[in-house]
Structure 1
Amino acid sequence: MPYLAVTATSRSSAPAALVYAALLDAESWPSWTSYYQVEWELPTGVERPARVGDLRTIRSRLGRVCCRERIVEMVPDQRFSYDHAAGLFTSHRGSVDLAPAPHGRTDITWSATYRRTLPLLDKLRRRRLQVLAHDLASYANSIVSRHS
């Protein structure tokens, strides 16, 4: 079955370290995405930063589990990659790449591949990914604004 590759870009006035931290801060996601809840699945009593192999569960505003993602690559302040471990899009893999931009800003490139299903979903997936990239940049910008 063919795959759909989608890429979305945005620019944040925040440095890459701050944008990367926002990606790892699951508790902040409901404030800048349409997701209701994002939780890291860590063993009871374990409190540590996320690492490759960790899982997180993402729930929609209706409380349903949208998906479970497995972290497959982490390069601090540069790249965060994941694949879906379970959910509607089990063949989905995504990556957020961060690159320095002029004046201390950060270019965000969020890319993903999906197994193609219905043509209408292609358009929705493109739009959704662009919204996520834009919302991540806006959220990081708001943190910079609050601290300046």
Structure 2
Amino acid sequence: MSSLTVTATPRSSAPAAVVYAALLDAESWPSWSSYYEVEWDLPARVDRPARAGDRRTVCSRVGRVCCRERIVELVPDWRFSYEQAAGPFESHRGSVDLARVSDGGTDVTWSAIYRHALPLLNTVRRQRLQILVHDLASYANSIVSRHS
């Protein structure tokens, strides 16, 4: 079986801090993504921020698939990386990288590597990642608009 790498990069008008906060805000995901539930095992709070090693469950509306993810890297306002800990895509690793742009916005690059790619799913995986990262950027834009 071959591997598959998928990358999508939209631009958000929101600052990197807003995009990063949206990624960590599990309660907001059902309002802007194809996931009906994203739940941290130990929810991040003001007194206990999310950290590498934390786990969460992500459940998709598409196919009603739930996966367990382990956070492998958190760099505030810059990078969020995870890997599947359990579920149908255990060999999946993803990273969201944020790059500030001169107009105050952020380039959002979401990359995913599937070590065991299934050719029939490759197009779907590309489309879903493109939609997911676009929805994240749009959601961050809406946060900025509401507070303007």
Q: If the TM-score is normalised by the length of the shorter chain, which range does it land in?
A: over 0.9
Q: Unpaired runs of 5+ in structure 2? A: none
Query: In the TM superposition, what are the counterparts of 1:22-37 in structure 2 within 5 Å?
Result: 22-37=22-37
Q: CA deviation at 1:120?
A: 1.9
Residue in structure 2 matched with residue 96 of structure 1 by the alignment: 96
Partner Cα separation in structure 2 for residue 117 and residue 72 of structure 1:
21
Partner residue, 1:5? 5
User: What is the percent sequence identity of the aligned residues?
Assistant: 76
Q: What's 1:135 paired with?
A: 135
Residues 64-113 of structure 1 show CA distances to partners (whole Å, capped at 9, x for unaligned) of 55200000001110000000000010000000000011210000000010
CA RMSD of aligned residues (A): 1.7
Superposition TM-score, scaled by structure 1 size:
0.92
| TM-score normalised by L of structure 2 | 0.92
2: CA distance, partners of 1:98 / 1:86: 26
Structure 1, residues 34-86: CA drift from partner, whole Å, max 9, x if none? 1111000018xxx7221100000012338955200000001110000000000
The 3-state SS of whatever aligns with 1:7 is strand
Change in 2 beyond 3 A, CA 1:48/1:63 = farther
Q: Which residue of 1 aligns with 2:144?
A: 144
